[in-house]
Amino acid sequence: MVKVKEKIELQIPILAILLILPLFTNFYYFWLFTLASIFASYTLSWYLMEKFCGRTSLGHTLPFGLTAYLSAIAYFFNYPLQLLPLVALIVALLSTFIFYITSMLDRVKFVFATFLYSVLLWEIAPFIVLKKDILYGGEEGFSIALIPPNIIYILSSTLLIAVFVFTILLHKSSLGLKMMAVRDDEEAALAIGIDVKRIKLLNSFISSLFTSFAGLIYILHFSHIDPDVFSVENAIFPFIASVFAGNFVTPVLGSYLLIFASKALNTISPQFHLVLYALLLIISPKLRRISNAHS
């Protein structure tokens, strides 16, 4: 118990520094830090499924990208910005259903099936075209109203804190313990009285809900969305960002590092950050083994 407390006491200052630091930077870094915090929420929401139910999803662009996409489309049809969280909730429910059904598959098939969702959405998105007076959508995507960066910063920071606190509370709760039992052995969990289906459903919902809200803040941050939100790069992002995962702040740190490293590498050559992604993918099994052993 003391050990857990010590670990959490170390993690909170790291998170606080990451969230306070942008206040002392210029506009560009403020924007970049905000983007990193959105991706950190995305990764941590994804990690809720990985850590607690042992399911590695490569399809979290479904709640993330679809919320962003549908929010932009809803805005196009004069849906007020204040009601966009409702879009996030609907997408979260849809994603919960899809992840839950997919979780009936074994773990390896789950990875590939969720990856298929990402690729399908990536392929389908360019065909979404809305016509008013001009052609709107397609490869170009959709836009929404500009929101002041400080509001986005507050929203993204609040979401990250919420996901982080929730993750810690879940880890200490009986629900979290049941989820981790399901993660370790579904049949043994069932045999000891755990309602495995209900646990999987809850886990899918929690992970999808936070991811959807990350997607919502993502569209508000960019004020624009295009089919690339469903890209393979975004699909594998949380997996790569959490290769050092041992506690709950490491996926957050990983996301920040990945965002900043990507921006730095892209100054050398466009898309050069994909080399880093590929390298991290290659060494990820070893890194995960090491970080799991240390945790």
Partner 1 sequence: MLIVKEVSKTYNSHVVLKEINLTLKKGVLGVVGPNGSGKSTLLKMIAGLEKPTCGRILFRDKDITKLSANKRVELGIVYTFQIPKPFYRLTVLENVAVGCMVRDKKNAKKRALRICKMMGIEHLADREAKVLSQGELKLLELAKVISTEPEIILLDEPFAALDKENAIIVKEKLMEFKRVGYKMMVTAHRFKILKDVADKFIEVREGRIRSDLDVKS
Residues that bind partner 1 (CB under 8 A): 174, 177-178, 180-181, 183-185, 187-196
* Contact by Cβ (8 Å): 228, 63: no
The residue (of 183 and 273) whose beta carbon lies closer to partner 1 is: 183
Cβ at position 211, least distance to partner 1 in Å: 24
The residue (of 140 and 184) whose beta carbon lies closer to partner 1 is: 184
The residue (of 148 and 193) whose beta carbon lies closer to partner 1 is: 193
Say which DSSP state 271 is in.
T
Cβ at position 153, least distance to partner 1 in Å: 36
Phi-psi region of 56 (alpha: psi -120 to 50; beta: other; left: phi over 0): beta
Cβ at position 187, least distance to partner 1 in Å: 7
The residue (of 80 and 193) whose beta carbon lies closer to partner 1 is: 193
The residue (of 25 and 292) whose beta carbon lies closer to partner 1 is: 292
The residue (of 123 and 195) whose beta carbon lies closer to partner 1 is: 195
Cβ at position 176, least distance to partner 1 in Å: 10
203 vs 205: CA distance, rounded Å: 5
The residue (of 60 and 178) whose beta carbon lies closer to partner 1 is: 178
The residue (of 9 and 187) whose beta carbon lies closer to partner 1 is: 187
Say which DSSP state 231 is in.
S
Cβ at position 175, least distance to partner 1 in Å: 9
267 vs 262: CA distance, rounded Å: 9
Cβ at position 203, least distance to partner 1 in Å: 15
Cβ at position 193, least distance to partner 1 in Å: 3
Cβ at position 7, least distance to partner 1 in Å: 15
